[in-house]
Amino acid sequence: MMKTPNCVLFVSFVLHAVLLPALSLAQAPFFQGKTITIIRGSEPGGVGEMRTRAVANYLKKHVPGNPAVVIEFMPGAGGTKAANHLFRGARTDGLVIGSAPSGMVSSAVLGEKGVQYELDKFIFLGSPNSASHYVFFTHRKLGLSNLEKLRAHAGLRIGAQTVGHPIYLTGRLFAYVLGLKDPKFVVGYSSPELDVAILGGEIDASSGVASSIVKQNPEFLDQKLMDFHSIMEIPRGDKHPRFAQVPELDSFAKTERQRQVLALHRTFRLAGSPFVLPPGTPKDRAEILREAMRKIYSDKEFLVEYAKMTGEEATPLIPEAHDKAIRELPRDPEVIEFYKSLGGTQPLPAR
């Protein structure tokens, strides 16, 4: 009986020696000592790279184990090459993250040439930029101060950068849903040239990003140089303080197809510059990265650095909201074909 305590002590020591290293190993973060590679679907440079770098700088902070983070650029086909690689060829161990241009979502849904990935199979990590309110306006000298006058004015010249540019497409959406009479679309401008053109009477109207107008063209509002007719809220219901009284474009939609087209466009813009994981990434590692992204998007230091690096305020879309947006994308073939026709150069269809 006197030997029992020593025996118990010995067994306890052996178990401790065997189990403690295993327990420590199990508790060691998977990402510790490893490197996460972010594949950016574009050339280096521009605001897209800065958005990616801003997030990359904080991944090390918020991923358990504090892994190193590097960025690899994979340009090609507006981000399609990188998305195809992430879908088919990238490692699925949790150490590869995609940073895609905004066209990744629209290209898949619209069936663009070269797309080899299935959008719904990616694991979405959210986006640092999602809110992007668009407004439609005319020069005040035209006297189109209400919807009736706007609709009665034939041949309104609506300016944009190029066919397919977001400003071009939103301009056509505004013109179509508002029921404008025989609008003319004038392209070939840079963004600064658009401002000069509308102030000089070369064009009559345009669409623009609300935050950019407030920041870059405050005189449009303060000096009442423009009449603002409608706004497309992205996300829906998110009121811009300077345009809170401007009617939402949805309120002018007459048919379910028009509402679906607007929902499709809104989600394309809402998706922002998505961060994704390849299909097949282990669920536990994916959730670690999703939680890290949630923390990044709410990190006050990140929000400040993001604004400094990109010149824009962060408008984060958390992973769950990203999932919901992708899940609720209109997929009706007729709606998609109609949306594609609105982005072309042919006359707008009858409302």
pLDDT tens, residue by residue, 163-215 = 989 999 999 999 999 999 999 999 999 999 999 999 999 999 999 999 999 99
**Looking up tokens 């899940």, which residue turns up?**
327
Total domain count for the chain? 2
SS3 (DSSP) at 205: strand
Is 157 in the same domain as 219? Answer: yes
Are both 116 and 47 inside the same structural domain? yes
**Within a 10 A sphere around the Cβ of 135, how many other Cβ atoms?**
26
Is 4 part of a structural domain of the chain?
A: no
Which regions of 190-311 does DSSP assign to beta strands (E)? Answer: 205-209, 226-232, 275-277
The pLDDT of residue 28 is 64
Pair of tokens at residue 204: 């009559």
User: Encoding tokens for residue 103?
Assistant: 């066209």
Residue 10, pLDDT score = 43
Domain of 229, CATH number, reads 3.40.190.10
| Same domain as 230, residue 151 | yes
Is 275 a domain residue? yes
Overall average pLDDT of the 152-157 stretch: 98
- Token pair of 311, please? 């010149």
Higher pLDDT, 104 or 15: 104
For the segment 329-340, the average pLDDT, to the nearest whole number, is 94
Answer whether residue 20 shows pLDDT above 80.
Answer: no
- How far, in whole angstroms, is CA 289 from its chain's centroid? 18
Residue 154 Cα to chain centre, angstroms:
35
What would the two tokens of residue 307 be?
Answer: 């604004």
Expressed as residue numbers, the domain containing 172 is 134-268
- Taking the C-alpha atoms of residue 328 and residue 31, their distance in angstroms, rounded to an integer, is 33
Q: State the pLDDT at residue 193.
A: 97
pLDDT band at 13 (very low <50, low <70, confident <90, very high): very low
User: What pairs with residue 158 in β-bridges?
Assistant: 185, 205
- Mean pLDDT value of segment 38-65: 97
Give me the pLDDT at residue 272, please: 84
Segment 4-25 shows an average pLDDT of 43
Q: Which residues contact 111 (CB under 8 A, 6 or more apart)?
A: 336
Domain boundary among 211, 237, 268: 268
Average pLDDT score over residue span 286-293: 98
Q: What pLDDT score does 350 carry? A: 84
**Residues 6 or more apart whose Cβ sits within 8 Å of residue 25:** none
Q: Are residues 159 and 194 in the same domain?
A: yes
Residue 331 in this model has a pLDDT that exceeds 50: yes
Higher pLDDT, 9 or 88: 88
End-to-end CA, the chain: 96
Instruction: Classify residue 15: in a domain, yes or no.
Output: no
Q: Does one domain contain both 168 and 258? A: yes
Cβ-in-10-Å burial (0-12, 13-18, 19+) of 147 comes to middle
**264 and 276 fall within a common domain:** no
Closest alpha carbon to 248 in 256, 237, 257:
237
Q: Does position 50 have pLDDT exceeding 70, yes or no?
A: yes
Q: Indicate if 65 and 100 belong to the same structural domain.
A: yes
The residue assigned the tokens 């290209």 is 107
More confident position, 1 or 301: 301
Overall average pLDDT of the 121-148 stretch: 97
- CATH number for the domain including 290? 3.40.190.150
Residue 341 confidence class, pLDDT cut points 50, 70, 90: very high
| Residue 153 burial (CB count, 10 A) | 18
According to DSSP, the residues that pair with 157 across neighbouring strands are: 184
Q: Is 271 or 199 the better-scoring residue by pLDDT?
A: 199
Which pLDDT value is given to residue 232? 98
For residue 79, the tally of other CB atoms under 10 A from its CB is: 25
Answer whether residue 100 shows pLDDT above 70.
Answer: yes
Neighbours of 244 (CB within 10 A): 8
- Considering the entire predicted model, what is its pTM? 0.86
